[in-house]
Amino acid sequence: LEKYERPEHNYVVGWSRGREKFRGVEDVAKGSWYANGLYAEPAQNESDTLKAKYPASTAEPLWPTSDELGADLESSFRQLGSSLYQVSRHVLRHCDAWLANARSLLPWHLKLRIHLATLFQKKRKLFSLEHITHELSRLHVARLLHYFPDAPLNTDGGDWCGC
């Protein structure tokens, strides 16, 4: 699987196993597959500065073929990513509603800053999490996580996930 690793992107594109450490010990109990869950070219029609600023978020992994896996990982990954993305829209709407109600609890100086900032915006929705996530960004990184059943576990981890 090493051919699917992208060390130039700190192992957050494509395959990664044993690259994360917990308390100084490599975590080989899990492996991860990272990619944009929605777009093959998330920086398409964008400037090169976006690719330079966010190389790991704009890079595409080398995908295993269906001959290697017996299934098409890329299309399955993107279908799952799309489903989660649609669910997130509903969750973010609820977060936006909660934040709108919570503004009344903020100190006066923060309310003033928010009010002044909205005066300079054409639309109030520019402050919504839903708008920022679903309309302004294409840099979504998704992770498939697999725990290996026979991998040695770090038993010193207490309640840490994977121990």
pLDDT digits (tens, 9 = 90+) for 7-16: 998 888 999 9
Look over the chain and give the mean of its residue pLDDT values, rounded to a whole number. 80
∠ CA 8-11-16, rounded to 5°: 140
Residues 73 and 15 sit within 8 Å (Cβ to Cβ): no
Please provide the size of the chain in residues.
Answer: 163
Strand, helix or coil for residue 149: coil
Strand 25-26 to strand 14-17: parallel, antiparallel, or no bridges (unpaired)? unpaired
Other CB atoms within 10 A of residue 131 CB: 16
Average pLDDT over residues 130-135: 84
0.85 surpassed by pTM = no
Q: Is the pLDDT reported for residue 120 higher than 80? A: no
Task: Please tell me which residue, 151 or 154, carries the higher pLDDT value.
Answer: 151
C-alpha pair distances (Å), 36 with each of 82, 139, 140: 10, 7, 5
Residues 128 and 135 sit within 8 Å (Cβ to Cβ): no
Report d(CA 135, CA 126) in Å as an integer: 9
The dihedrals phi and psi of 35, each to the nearest 5 degrees, come to -170, 170
